[in-house]
Amino acid sequence: MAEGISLEELQLAARNHGMPLEALRWEITPIGLHYLLTHYDIPAPDPATWRLEVDGLVERPLSLSLEDLRARPAVEIAVTMECAGNGRVHVEPHVASQPWLLEAVGNARWRGTPVAGLLEEAGIADGGRDALFTGLDRGVEGGEEQAYQRSLPLDELLGGEAILAYEINGEPLPPQHGFPLRLLVPGWYGMTSVKWLERITVLDAPFDGYQMRHSYRLRQEEDEEGEPLSRMQVRALMVPPGLPEFLSRTRVVPAGTCTLEGRAWSGQAEVAGVEVSADGGKTWSEAELGDDSLGRWAWRGWRLEWEATPGEHELCCRARDAAGNVQPLESSWNLGGYANNAVQRVSVTVTE
Ligand SMILES: Nc1nc2c(c(=O)[nH]1)N[C@H]1C(S)=C(S)[C@@H](COP(=O)(O)O)O[C@H]1N2
Ligand SMILES: [Mo]
């Protein structure tokens, strides 16, 4: 984080707030504390006239009101969502975009109707392979005027647990989270979960728009095709312990037993464990994992009692998942500064 951020980045950061890390204490993130990321402006659709259109390669195009959607089979799932740019500020050289440190995450209870059921009702016509989700918000990015649009393979949607969500934590979606309806794809980075949905279009190939072709790909160079981002990498975060110093945010902790706690998640496999280091990653101790009562798509709590001795310490936490993925100690660079799941480091001064 050697270089400063620009006024343009500050402009983005002031609109798109993160989840203060002390909010990791809540198993379900209260609505106003969940992170936010909106590329363009927040639209203000009229729920009385708003409709969701389902078209393209379908046997029966659908046009549904919010009431129609609420009358369909409903499920509620706890889902941890993280922006693919979380950790961006820690990659070097600096990538100019929304300057996330580590706070672009939240865990909410989302209620809605399964996407699979809706697509089955519309009926996939011959050649249908992918579904394009179009939001109501428009803007200019990379010189192209566009709606925010992303597609997903039908296999992923028909076999998965994606929902069209109209509630978060028991409330109708607030404007900033996609009112009246958003896609929610558990396990995938946030860009997948299109907000302010107005249309689902079945296509015979992945959509080739800006948010697919240019953004959200792991690339080292502009002219490289790269790999599309999909599922969230494994990550643990901790509640910064003790007291913060106002400006620097460094932590002050009294000597003695200090409970370190946080949450861990992975979109690729279940969380298998979390380790904590008090010496910048040289030695590690296994933390105790909390239960998985919120289900597969939500983060897991963890805790460890740390015997804090006077002096300067660098606390780190690192998660691993059942597929064998482990967080790296160092950040690695890519053009978009995406998917940087290097371990969190918290500087702590322990006082007598
Ligand atoms: N229509 C639309 N959907 C969108 C976006 C957007 O700008 N417009 N941002 C995406 C990105 S990059 C993320 S990380 C998540 C953030 O969701 P949240 O703001 O509800 O936390 O929404 C995704 N869905
Ligand atoms: Mo994002």
Domains and CATH numbers, the chain: 7-228 (3.90.420.10), 235-351 (2.60.40.650)
Tokens for 120?
A: 């089955």
Atom of ligand 1 nearest to the CA of 39: 7
Neighbours of 312 (CB within 10 A): 9
Residue of 15, 137, 149, 191 best suited for mutating to test ligand 1, as the one with most atoms within 8 Å of CB? 191
Q: Does pTM top 0.95 for this prediction? A: yes
pLDDT of residue 23: 98
Cα of 253 vs centre of ligand 1, distance in Å, is 36
Cα of 295 vs centre of ligand 1, distance in Å, is 23
Which CA distances in Å does 3 have to 90, 171, 210, 221, 345?
A: 10, 40, 28, 21, 18
Contacts of 109 (CB under 8 A, 6+ apart): 28, 76, 77, 78, 168, 169, 170
User: By the 8 A CB rule, do 292 and 343 touch?
Assistant: no
pLDDT of residue 53: 98
Q: Which long-range contacts (CB under 8 A, 24 or more apart) does 8-17 make?
A: 8/96, 9/96, 9/97, 9/98, 9/99, 12/97, 12/98, 12/99, 13/98, 13/99, 16/98
Please state the φ and ψ torsions of residue 264, each to the nearest 5 degrees: -140, 150
Atom of ligand 1 nearest to the CA of 197: 1
Residue of 37, 100, 107, 200 best suited for mutating to test ligand 1, as the one with most atoms within 8 Å of CB? 37
pLDDT of residue 4: 83
Q: Give just the sign of the alpha carbon dihedral 86, 90, 92, 96.
A: positive
pLDDT of residue 3: 63
Select from 148, 134, 116 the least CA-distant residue to 199: 134
Residue 83 in contact with ligand 1 by CB distance below 6 A:
yes
Distance CA 133, CA 232 (A): 20
Please state the φ and ψ torsions of residue 309, each to the nearest 5 degrees: -105, 145
Distance CA 167, CA 13 (A): 25
Element (H, E) at 115: helix 115-122
Cα of 107 vs centre of ligand 2, distance in Å, is 15
Q: Going residue by residue through the chain (352 aa), what tens digit of pLDDT does each one get?
A: 546 899 999 999 999 999 999 999 999 999 999 999 999 999 999 999 999 999 999 999 999 999 999 999 999 999 999 999 999 999 999 999 999 999 999 999 999 999 999 999 999 999 999 999 999 999 999 999 999 999 999 999 999 999 999 999 999 999 999 999 999 999 999 999 999 999 999 999 999 999 999 999 999 999 999 999 999 999 999 999 999 999 999 999 999 999 999 999 999 999 999 999 999 999 999 999 999 999 999 999 999 999 999 999 999 999 999 999 999 999 999 999 999 999 999 999 999 9
Atom 21 of ligand 1 has which residue's CA nearest to it?
A: 36
Distance CA 151, CA 194 (A): 9
User: By the 8 A CB rule, do 172 and 69 touch?
Assistant: no
Angle at 270 between CA 264 and CA 276, to 5 degrees: 35
What is the residue-wise DSSP string for 201-268?
EEESS---SHHHHTSSEE-SSTT---EE--BPPPEEEEPPPSEE-TTT--EEEESEEEEEEEEEE-SS
Neighbours of ion ligand 2 (CB under 5 A): 37, 83, 190-191
Please state the φ and ψ torsions of residue 108, each to the nearest 5 degrees: -130, 165
Atom 18 of ligand 1 has which residue's CA nearest to it?
A: 36
Distance CA 266, CA 234 (A): 4
Distance CA 203, CA 201 (A): 6
pLDDT of residue 192: 98
Please state the φ and ψ torsions of residue 120, each to the nearest 5 degrees: -65, -40
Select from 177, 167, 163, 186 the least CA-distant residue to 113: 163
Residue 34 in contact with ligand 1 by CB distance below 6 A:
yes
Q: Find the radius of gyration of the CA atoms of the chain.
A: 21
Atom of ligand 1 nearest to the CA of 216: 12
Residue 226 in contact with ligand 1 by CB distance below 6 A:
no
Cα of 169 vs centre of ligand 2, distance in Å, is 21
Q: β-pairing, 52-56 with 311-321?
A: unpaired
Residue type, 115: V
pLDDT of residue 228: 97
Angle at 207 between CA 81 and CA 82, to 5 degrees: 10
